[in-house]
Amino acid sequence: MTVMTASRRWSTHVPGAAAAAIALAVFVAGWKALVVLTGYPPFILPSPELVLERFVSAWGDGTIGPHALRTLYEVALGFGLGAGLAVVVGYVLARLPLAERLLSPYLVAAQATPILALAPLLVMWFGPGMTAKIVISALIVFFPVAIATMVGVRAVDARLLELARSLRATRWQVVTTLEIPAALPAIFGGLRVGVTLAVVGAIVGEWAGADRGLGLLINLARGSLFDIPLLFATLLTIALLGIALYAIVVLIERTLVGAR
């Protein structure tokens, strides 16, 4: 009883930012403890402060910046392209049962094929520039967003559709004023998953062959440079990039979906 009230008070009174800070502190402390207890050398497991130091210096001297910028471009374009197409296709799947029957085997097969296996092929086709990464990113984003859109549009209340019909709404008005707004919470569910996958897609693509990007930097840090703290600093950058993009999606969701 007391435990329950205490935990409820805890969860309602500690704001999100404070909770995140505590979680971060626990994570860093655990990491530090592991380094101290095991005594691993920095090229196996560098300490948190060493990684932070390298993170700051690598951002300061322009080691990470250009790579991060390239990855950000690829993610943004891949996500935009993949999610945009997915919303259109998801809508068609929802409203044309025949399309779903014809297309879903291909969609599932594409989703089931490991992106790791596809990436080298796409890099071979499109070369080491941005195109292959954008395509990979878009591919990996596509499925969750398309399915979320399909489910969301199918769930639109038939009574609202009848209302729109009684008001003589055109097909396009029904899409823009009813179906999309009604499906928006579901679509954003897909976008949240999609945006983190978009980062994974770009990194995997760069890993398979690139002239620039955080995936390439990981390969460099671990290989020719043999700078393991830089490798960790790059991982940290990727994680922060993912968190930032996710937060942007959530922010847009809050403004668009708002209080219903």
Partner 1 sequence: MSGQMGAIGRIELRDIAVSFASGAGSSSGASDGARLIALDGVDLAIEPGQVVALIGPNGSGKSTLLRVVAGLLRPDRGTALLDGNPVDGPDPRVGLVFQEPRLLAWRTTASNIAYPLELAGVDRATRRARVAELLTIVGLEAAAVQVPSQLSGGMRQRAALARTLALRPEVLLLDEPFSALDELTRERLNLELLAITAHTPTTILLVTHSVQEAIFLADRVVVLSARPGRVVADIAVDLPRPRSLGDLDAAVVSATARTVRAHLGEAAA
Tally: H helices and E strands in the chain: 12, 0
Rule CB under 8 A: which of 11-70 touch partner 1?
none
Q: d(Cα 78, Cα 132) in Å, to the nearest integer?
A: 10
178 makes contact with partner 1 (CB under 8 A): yes
Binder among 147, 184, 200, 204 for partner 1 (CB under 8 A): 184
177 makes contact with partner 1 (CB under 8 A): yes
Binder among 169, 175, 235, 236 for partner 1 (CB under 8 A): 169
Binder among 45, 103, 181, 246 for partner 1 (CB under 8 A): 181
96 makes contact with partner 1 (CB under 8 A): no
130: enclosing H helix or E strand: helix 130-154
Binder among 164, 220, 235, 236 for partner 1 (CB under 8 A): 164
- CA-based torsion, 44, 50, 53, 56: positive or negative: positive
Binder among 2, 5, 166, 255 for partner 1 (CB under 8 A): 166
Q: Nearer to partner 1 by C-beta: 13 or 168? A: 168
158 makes contact with partner 1 (CB under 8 A): no
- Helix then strand then coil, % of the chain, to nearest 5: 85, 0, 15
Q: Which of 111, 66, 83, 107 is nearest to 213 (CA)?
A: 66
Q: Which of 103, 110, 91 is nearest to 181 (CA)?
A: 91
Please say whether the beta carbons of 79 and 194 come within 8 A: yes
From 46-54, 104-112, 174-182, 217-225, span contacting partner 1 (CB under 8 A): 174-182
258 makes contact with partner 1 (CB under 8 A): yes
Q: Which residues sit at the interface with partner 1, rule CB under 8 A?
A: 157, 159-160, 162-169, 173, 177-178, 181-182, 184, 257-260
